[in-house]
Structure 1
Amino acid sequence: MSNANRTPSPSERARADAVQQVMELDGVAAVFPPTLAVVKSLATRSSAPHDSLRLSGGRGATEASIDIAVTAGQPASDIAAAVQDLVHAVLTGHGIETSSVAVTVLEHGPNPVTGNEAQSTERAPLPDTEVGA
């Protein structure tokens, strides 16, 4: 069975939905694929958009993580908090309970008004925020 004709799993559909909604969030300049997705692409195996949102754990302790770029001039911590809330809400809507959502802000993207790149880059992940507690 070809990968193109395969029906996505419920988890893949949930992750794809969350990534799509994060990409539409004001202040998010990009959502980065993790290293494994980049390796897949280099190996001529396409990576799916849902690969950008990783889920780990099990038995009621699912953890989600995503890497984003924030539009220059936007408060990275506020955007990251909005992404955490959005990912948690979308996954919950798909029946996936998360114990935490980690958002890593890798860099600032171009300013949509000027097109200039931001001068500073944030690389440290934000602390995990427990959601729903």
Structure 2
Amino acid sequence: MCILYRDCDVRNFTLCLLAVTLSLTGCDLYCDKMATCKSSSMAASGHADSWQSRKSLTQSLRHSFENRMFSDVTFKVGREQKTVQAHRQILSIRSGVFEAMFYGPLAEQGEIVIPEVEHDIFEQFLRL
């Protein structure tokens, strides 16, 4: 997110936004009069401190799943109908069944109820 000073213009904001998008660090940036972007949360190493820093894609996906970040589908599983949140795109990439469930002509809307599978087993399945 860019924090702009009064004397920054739209062009500077665009540069900061581009820097955030390219770095994918999510750090706070500010623009100075020279249109250079600087981080307000840089670590001593020069890398931004964020949950994405120095993590592999697998580690970032695991963190996102475990912390229920960016999820866009909710399952109610088991006899107790416990809630499990997940990511449609990731499930669809890994399974043709989920692809059909989410993006096919009869795509599911809202919560998806799966009473036949217990909560713990379903969560373990999603972690694979």
* Greater Cα radius of gyration, structure 1 or 2: 2
- Structure of greater relative contact order (alpha carbons < 8 Å, 6+ residues apart): 1
Q: When the two structures are superposed, what TM-score results if normalisation uses the length of structure 1?
A: 0.22
More strand per residue: 1
TM superposition score normalised by structure 2: 0.22
